């Protein structure tokens, strides 16, 4: 592992939440760019302690309390690829080690997938299923027991202006916590470049499924946050962080996107049943 890189090192104009992975293959210059997460700085290593790095909110929301509740349910995901090591994040779904993440985090894996808990405990993991169009994958940590599963919320109840917290491993810095608000809901990512790519679960088709519009947030999301949770003030996961709008060098400018958790749950259940 001499080179550390991101699944999110690729940038491109985004088409829709449902087809983000396909839209991001190959760099595209222009004003509306979206980066996948996962780019750790060379020489960095994940923390083995669940120390929350927080930003203060304009309200009385206790970010430290939210972080303390959710951090044990967030993992760092390390994947060996042909180009080096990819770093992402994930959310624990069950005590026996089922984990929800983005498909692009594990795409192209050439070796074992490793998940690291907030306390530094590591497990090898298998990919139970991945939907690259929806950018959702489900992993299973081998031999895991008594893990702390995240509490999933209802993304249909998310409101603009609501306080939120993002947790993940930006730059490979595990257990990083940032905070902000919901900037928009139902964001059609096709608006960023005028393109629309159909999903297998597109609501205009005959197959029922999620709409693939995104939750937009100004909570800082960077390379390595992919697959990690966006949570509300009650510590409930309302979205899976997946991409950012970045017209410059690929860093966060305060416009990030998360797949609504209701959509992510539907896709995860379909993956497990196929």
Q: How many CB atoms lie within 10 A of CB 204?
A: 7
Rounded Cα gap, residues 52 and 86, in angstroms: 23
Rounded Cα gap, residues 224 and 39, in angstroms: 6
Catalytic-role residue among 155, 226, 243, 246: 226
DSSP conformation class of 41: P
Residues in the chain: 274
Which candidate, 137, 157, 170, 119, places its Cα nearest to that of 271? 137
Burial of 209 (0-12, 13-18, 19+ CB in 10 A): middle
Which candidate, 228, 211, 91, 232, places its Cα nearest to that of 160? 232
Q: Which two tokens stand for residue 223?
A: 């390379």
Burial of 170 (0-12, 13-18, 19+ CB in 10 A): buried
Which candidate, 252, 232, 229, 236, places its Cα nearest to that of 59? 232
Catalytic-role residue among 104, 155, 179, 183: 104
The reply to whether 223 belongs to the active site is no
Catalytic-role residue among 35, 131, 135, 218: 135
Rounded Cα gap, residues 92 and 99, in angstroms: 4
Q: Are 104 and 227 in contact (CB under 8 A)?
A: no
List, in sequence order, the alpha helices (H) in the chain: 20-23, 63-70, 103-106, 261-272
As annotated, the active-site residues are 104, 135, 226
């Amino acid at each position: 592992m001499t080179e550390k890189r991101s699944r999110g090192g690729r940038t491109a104009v985004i088409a829709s939440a449902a087809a983000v992975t396909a839209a991001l293959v190959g760099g595209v210059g222009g004003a509306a760019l979206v980066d996948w997460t996962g780019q750790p700085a060379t020489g960095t290593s994940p923390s083995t302690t669940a120390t929350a790095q927080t930003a203060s909110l304009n309200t009385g929301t206790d970010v430290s309390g939210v972080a303390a509740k959710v951090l044990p349910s967030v993992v760092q995901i390390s994947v060996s690829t042909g180009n080096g090591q990819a770093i992402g994040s994930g959310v624990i779904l069950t005590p026996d080690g089922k984990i929800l993440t983005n498909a692009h985090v594990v795409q192209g894996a050439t070796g074992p997938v490793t998940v690291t808990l907030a306390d530094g405990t590591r497990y090898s993991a298998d990919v139970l299923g991945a939907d690259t169009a929806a950018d959702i994958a489900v992993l299973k940590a081998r031999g895991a027991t008594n893990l702390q599963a995240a509490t999933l919320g209802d993304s249909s109840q998310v409101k603009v202006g609501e306080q939120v917290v993002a947790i993940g491993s930006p730059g490979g810095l595990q257990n990083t916590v940032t905070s902000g608000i919901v900037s928009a809901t139902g964001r059609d990512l096709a608006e960023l470049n005028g393109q629309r790519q159909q999903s297998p679960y597109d609501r205009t088709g005959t197959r029922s499924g999620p709409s693939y519009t995104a939750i937009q947030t100004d909570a800082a999301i960077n390379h390595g946050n992919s697959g990690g949770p966006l949570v509300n003030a009650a510590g409930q996961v309302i979205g899976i962080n997946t991409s950012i709008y970045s017209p410059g060098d690929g860093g966060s400018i305060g416009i990030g996107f998360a797949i609504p958790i209701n959509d992510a749950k539907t896709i995860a259940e379909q993956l497990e049943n196929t």
